[in-house]
Amino acid sequence: MRKLEQLGFDNTFARLPDIFHSRLHPTPLPDPYLVSFNTNAAPLIDLDSAETQRADFAEYFSGNRLLPGCEPLAMLYAGHQFGHYVPQLGDGRAVLLGEIKNSAGEYWDIQLKGAGRTPYSRNGDGRAVLRSSIREYLCSEAMHGLGIPTTRALCIVGSDHRVYRETAETAAVVTRIAPSHVRFGSFEVFFYRGQNQLLAMLADYVIAKHFPPLMDAPDKYSRFLDEVVTRTATLMARWQAVGFSHGVMNTDNMSILGLTFDYGPFGFMENYDPGYICNHSDPAGRYAYNQQPQIGLWNLACLAQALTPVIAMEDAEAALQNYGPAYAKHYTELMGQKLGLAHASKEDDTLINTLLEMMHTSQADYTNLFRGLGNFNSAPGEKNTALRDQFIDRTAFDAWSESYRARLQREQGSDEERKIRMDKVNPKYILRNHLAQTAINKAEQGRDFSEVDRLLKLLQDPFSEQPGMEDYAATPPEWARHITVSCSS
């Protein structure tokens, strides 16, 4: 493992022409201190966790000091925000320090989110607040624990420096780690400017670095789009299966690698509601839970359009046509696994959809209901009372359970074996809003970061029964109904 001075920077994005980015140093953050450090993410960049004991650690990860070898910059991009094209966005409060090449030969971007104003900040102050930093830090690790592609977070550095959102809050910087921060909007900005040579240069850069087998293919750009379509379809299916809502699926928040990206007003659905809106700033529900798969395709269409200078229109359309089947296949497989079905069958869609309809009517807790299904007793005549009592219409549940029982019996496996499989895909713990809010309250009110660390550890292993942590899997208390998150979150 390496000390801070030994991290191996190889900054490939910084070697692109200056039009792709703006070089600048982070804005110093007064009196920074370490809030939390993610020991599970440190090996990605070969960082020795003992380095957190250094007196100057927070100075480096607040941006006050620069790590040897980094070349800080803010990335240029554009994007469609709530369906409307914005011609220039870019990193308005994030600074990419550079790319670390680890001992396995992997490249990881190191980005400070909340590092101050950049040329793309518009009217913003370039800062992140402690509240939003804690939410991103915890959720990126929660998603990783759930097996969903995501950016990671190395640490949070805080400060007593005051910034203003709806009220005065303290500033913080979260260190984000990702294979790349290139997004759909990175291509859109050059398409709408008519800068086709730069568009092709960016595509060649991304393909060479992240899809090298395609580089020598004569149809490399269309095959690249195919890859992005498949990865995005798979990501949407995974979000839906776990009940996750992103909240702001603008094209500038869509990763070219199919990662969960740019955490803001996200939410894990609690009571099952297909129209669940996690973002208070989205009253029309453009990015509601049940709209996410379609928005994924809409965003891909924007990317496909941006690539038309290097891809024939018919090839772009053909790539988009693959999205629906890829999404449906993966979603059906995931939901089948959540029901403990080892083999797919034609009637599985009906079984899944009927259950979801009953859950909606009964406002059943999405995570806890599926976790509880692992205890379903498939013996003839068994009432499964604990499950049955979660539904308003017990008769409907009885009818569904008979169909489910018959389906399980055709697989000829034991209930014990099925439960083991189901507990590996149905989490016990998710980052419920009230859990995050409790950690935020403690952090803001007394610099007590113990709950942040406790949640981080819990969410890194969401499928295991963790003794003494039962309350973290409980349905939300009454006060949690009043929590709202918005684009400022």
More confident residue, 479 or 54: 54
Strand-pairing partners, residue 21, are 75
pLDDT higher than threshold 90 for residue 82:
yes
Is residue 252 annotated as a catalytic residue, yes or no? yes
At residue 486 the predicted structure's pLDDT band, cuts being 50, 70 and 90, is confident
Amino acid at 304: A
In a domain, residue 218? The reply is no
Q: Mean pLDDT over all residues of the chain?
A: 96
Q: What is the pLDDT of residue 489?
A: 52
Residues 6+ apart with CB under 8 A from 148: 235, 238, 239, 242, 244, 260
Nearest Cα residue to 74 out of 88, 61, 56, 84: 88
Decide which of 181, 213, 230 is a domain's last residue. Answer: 181
- The letter for the amino acid at 40 is N
Structural domains of the chain, count? 2
Task: Give exposure, 389-428, as e/b (b: 16+ Cβ within 10 Å).
Answer: ebbeeeeebeebbeebbebbeeeebebeebbebbbebbbb
Spell out the long-range contacts of 413-419 with Cβ–Cβ below 8 A and sequence spacing 24 or more.
Answer: 413/342, 415/376, 415/377, 415/378, 418/340, 418/374, 419/340, 419/374, 419/375
Is residue 28 in some structural domain?
Answer: yes
Q: Is residue 357 part of a domain?
A: yes
Task: Give dist(CA 365, CA 389) in Å, integer.
Answer: 12
Averaged over 461-467, what is the pLDDT?
96
- Which amino acid does the sequence have at 339? L
Whether residue 471 is contained in a domain is answered as no
Q: At what angle do helices 196-210 and 184-192 cross, to 10 degrees?
A: 160
Mean pLDDT of 147-169: 95
For Cα atoms 205, 208, 212, give the angle at the middle one, nearest 5 degrees. 160
Across 44-48, average pLDDT = 98
Task: Given the residues 91, 252, 262, 365, select the one marked as catalytic.
Answer: 252
Q: What whole-number distance in Å separates Cα of residue 373 and Cα of residue 377?
A: 9
The gap between the terminal CA atoms of the chain, to the nearest Å, is: 35
Let me know if residue 174 belongs to a domain.
Answer: yes
Question: With 70 as the cut, is the pLDDT of residue 321 above it?
Answer: yes
Given 166, 181, 196, the domain boundary residue is 181
pLDDT tens-digit readout, 93-125: 999 999 999 999 999 999 999 999 999 998 899
Q: Which two tokens stand for residue 51?
A: 């380095």
Question: How far apart, in Å, are the Cα atoms of 120 and each of 81, 84, 142, 189?
Answer: 15, 18, 30, 13
Could you tell me the pLDDT band of residue 347, with boundaries at 50, 70 and 90?
A: confident
Query: Is the residue at 86 inside a domain?
Result: yes
Residue 253 near residue 261 (C-beta atoms within 8 A):
yes
482 pLDDT above the threshold of 90 = no
Question: Among 283, 238, 242, 262, which residue's Cα sits nearest to residue 484?
Answer: 283
User: DSSP for 40-82?
Assistant: TTGGGGTB-GGGGGSTTHHHHHTTSSPPTT---EEE---EEET
Whether residue 304 is contained in a domain is answered as no
Write out the residue range of the structural domain in which residue 116 sits.
4-181
Distances (CA, A) of 279 to 79, 135, 348, 463, 468: 19, 14, 32, 27, 32
Angle at 115 between CA 43 and CA 65, to 5 degrees: 70
**305 domain residue, yes or no:** no
Q: What is the pTM of this model?
A: 0.97
Last residue of a domain, one of 137, 155, 181: 181
